């Protein structure tokens, strides 16, 4: 009898929340993690149909050719969508279906694995906004107080406080994400994060064991 596929866990959180740290800790526990943000960048560089759609919408300047290699003109595209919510939404409508198809291929590989993991994770900053949360069995959100998030963003990206606040305000609030969450982890530099991740891992493994038995 074929075992059921691994549970699908959506991992999300606002910029600077500590979401990526949680993803790395889960990988250390042997859990496959699909990073949707990195996948989107890869697909925009290498998926011909997505490249064609983006070029058609934003113009030939969106891609440049260097040494016979076509590359995304990131500064140009950023200038087109930054500060223009309607354009950003249009770009997301092009990119998210490609990411979803890529995730499904990735998830199918793990479902066919001789020793499938108890669960797999999709890590995405805009998991809920993109609608990808509907593909998940459970949702995990990572939160942190805004002052800590600001400090992390400024140090990591070498940006200004105003720019960091603008990036936070452009995303869903923590209470909005919490309304979708089955589990909430806090990465506030006061509560230890590793025990929270271990407890989450134990719970999800038990859920999988119950389903498979």
The number of folded domains in the chain is 1
Nearest alpha carbon to residue 96 among 20, 150, 30, 43: 43
Look at residue 155 and tell me if it is in a domain.
Answer: yes
State the pTM of this model.
Answer: 0.92
Q: Which residue has the higher pLDDT, 201 or 65?
A: 201
Look at residue 55 and tell me if it is in a domain.
Answer: no
Residue 196, both tokens? 């929270």
* pLDDT digit string, tens, across residues 136-165: 999 999 999 999 999 999 999 898 999 889
Kindly state the percentage of the chain with pLDDT values over 90: 80
Do residues 185 and 12 lie in contact, with contact meaning Cβ atoms separated by under 8 Å? no
* pLDDT digit string, tens, across residues 111-130: 999 999 999 999 999 999 99
The CATH number covering residue 134 comes to: 3.40.50.300
- Give the range of the structural domain holding residue 140, as residue numbers without chain letter: 7-32+117-212
The position carrying tokens 């930054």 is 82
pLDDT value at position 1? 62
């Amino acid at each position: 009898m074929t075992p059921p596929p691994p549970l699908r866990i959506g991992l999300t959180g606002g910029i600077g929340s500590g979401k990526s740290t949680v993803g790395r800790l889960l990988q250390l526990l042997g859990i496959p993690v699909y990073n949707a943000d990195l996948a989107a960048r890869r697909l925009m560089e290498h998926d011909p149909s997505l490249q064609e759609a983006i070029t058609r919408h934003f113009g030939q300047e969106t891609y440049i050719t260097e040494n016979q290699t076509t590359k995304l003109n990131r500064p140009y595209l950023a200038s087109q969508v930054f500060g223009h919510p309607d354009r950003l939404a249009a770009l997301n409508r092009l990119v998210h279906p490609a990411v979803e198809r890529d995730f499904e291929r990735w998830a199918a590989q793990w479902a066919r694995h001789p020793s499938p993991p108890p669960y797999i994770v999709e890590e995405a900053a805009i998991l809920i906004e993109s609608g990808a949360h509907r593909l998940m069995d459970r949702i995990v959100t990572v939160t942190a107080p805004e002052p800590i998030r600001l400090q992390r963003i400024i140090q990591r990206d070498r940006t200004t406080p105003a720019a960091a606040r603008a990036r936070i305000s452009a995303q869903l609030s923590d209470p909005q994400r919490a309304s979708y969450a089955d589990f909430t982890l806090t990465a506030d530099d006061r509560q230890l994060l590793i025990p929270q991740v271990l407890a989450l891992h134990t719970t999800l493994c038990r859920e999988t064991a119950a389903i498979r038995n």
